[in-house]
A and B are shown apart, each in its own frame.
Chain A
Amino acid sequence: MGDSGVAVRLEKISKRLGWTWALREIGLEVERGSSVVLIGPNGAGKTTLLRLVATLLKPTAGTGEVLGSSLQGDADTIRRRTGLLSARGHLYGDLNALENLRFAAWMSGVSVDEASVRAALAKVGLDHVSEQRAREYSSGMQKRLAFATLLMRRLDLVLLDEPYASLDADGIRMVDEFVDEWRAEGGTVLLATHRRGLAVRKADRVAVLQAGRLHRYCRPDELEPADLDPQPVLPAG
């Protein structure tokens, strides 16, 4: 598969978790340098889709490529150029901010000095609490620190799972700025959120997931009101 202008291409991707189909025949193309927002109710398959693109899950059926590499066989190449910000951030509460960033840099193979670690912290507004343990941070500050771990790497694809959760107005602005910055540098952003109104402002395209299926994939102005506020699917009876 070539390194084309498509960052993510999924063809009839399905994923079964236990006895449940989390994703059913998803077909999706994300252009390089674009921002795509996944929206849908809880259990729609947003996080599963992000984990699949991140190579943390293997598809049960279907094929896909990320940044020109096959999803099935080239996980390490994809991981070198892809960053995932999960809902829980993957931070170590008993390490301080500097230590968390140093660990992330070592694990990523990024050569960093003290100044660049501090610069990443300053960028997310945590330089004044760099010696404080992450467990003492508020959830919004932890989210900022998790963002800083991504900032130290040169990434072509950034996957953000519920990035707006726990953030105040400043934090939301920070996420927006990061998305703009990554895209300005040619990076691609795939963002999953249930805060639909917030997310679609920054989207080139929106993918609406419902019960594991891709319900709609369109520009934000083509969304229907029901897509932005879908009724929960209640069990029959």
Chain B
Amino acid sequence: MKSSLALRTWAILWKDLLIELRTKQSFSAMVFFAALVLFLFGFAIGPDSATLARLGGGLLWIAIAFTGMLSLGRTFQSEEVAGGLDGLRMYPGEIRAIYLGKLLTNFSMLVVLEIVLVPVAVVLLQLEPWGRFPLFVGITLLGTFGFSVIGTFYASLTQHLRARELMLPLLLFPALVPVFLGAVNGTTLALAGDPLDRIGGWIRLLISFDIIFFVVCIWIFPLVLEE
């Protein structure tokens, strides 16, 4: 039986999520860190609901971005502990499955984090996403996918660097500018209302970015991993 891309992707996702479920190392730290960021911002801005509504989308994405860095930094940690990526590379079949598996792991972790984080943000920042909830969810998922696509790729690029904790955000954040632009503006419009109907443009930007970078990253990933 040939090792299919889907089976290998599933295997990596299953293995990484199972390890995370058992150790809870990444996720606990992510939840506490994200809640702390939201609490500090909410505390600093105060109870001015108009300001909170205007800044809410941006604050939510600051929490997601900083917390996401914790997850991305640990993308290949289970492989390092097991003796490096040689173990995965030595298996036959499509090497892009490693990227897809790690991408889905990061995406799943961030989505679960957001499920916990959004109710916290609703309370602390007095957000009201319920009016345009499907739009709010859609924009958050598109932004999270874009963040995971490029974040996973840069995590693989910096995994061998000694100063990777420093290099990963330095390289990653400039590349993520289009995602943050689309996600922050789209989320703000979904939360605070969109009388001029500008939200469609930000959604198109997010979709374009996600597709282009997904194709580029998956195409060049073997060059990053192979010597």
Interface residues of A (CB under 8 A from B): 51, 54, 56-58, 75-76, 79-80, 82-84, 86-95, 99, 103-104, 106-111
Contact with A along B56-86 (1 / 0, CB 8 A): 0000000000000000000000100111101
Instruction: Name the CB-closest residue of B to A133.
Output: B22
What is the number of contacts between chain A and chain B, taking CB atoms within 8 Å? 85
Residues of B within 8 A of A83 (CB): 90
Known: A57-B227, A92-B78, A111-B1. A86 touches B86 (CB 8 A): yes
B83 contacts A109, C-beta separation under 8 Å: no
A95 contacts B18, C-beta separation under 8 Å: yes
Residues of B within 8 A of A109 (CB): 1-4, 7-8, 92-93
Residues of A within 8 A of B93 (CB): 76, 107, 109
Known: A88-B83, A89-B83. A108 touches B91 (CB 8 A): yes
7 A-B pairs with C-beta separation under 8 A: A54-B86, A58-B227, A88-B83, A90-B86, A94-B19, A103-B15, A110-B1
Instruction: Name the CB-closest residue of B to A76.
Output: B92
Tell me the chain B residues, 1-26 only, with Cβ under 8 Å from chain A. Answer: 1-4, 7-8, 10-12, 14-15, 18-19, 22-23
Report the separation of the CA atoms of residues A102 and B227 in the bound assembly, to the nearest whole angstrom: 28
Report the separation of the CA atoms of residues A88 and B15 in the bound assembly, to the nearest whole angstrom: 18
* B204, CB-defined interface residue at 8 Å: no
Residues of B within 8 A of A51 (CB): 86
Tell me the chain B residues, 199-215 only, with Cβ under 8 Å from chain A. Answer: none
Instruction: Name the CB-closest residue of A to B95.
Output: A76
Residues of B within 8 A of A86 (CB): 83, 86-87
Known: A56-B227, A57-B227, A88-B83. A107 touches B22 (CB 8 A): no
A79 contacts B78, C-beta separation under 8 Å: no
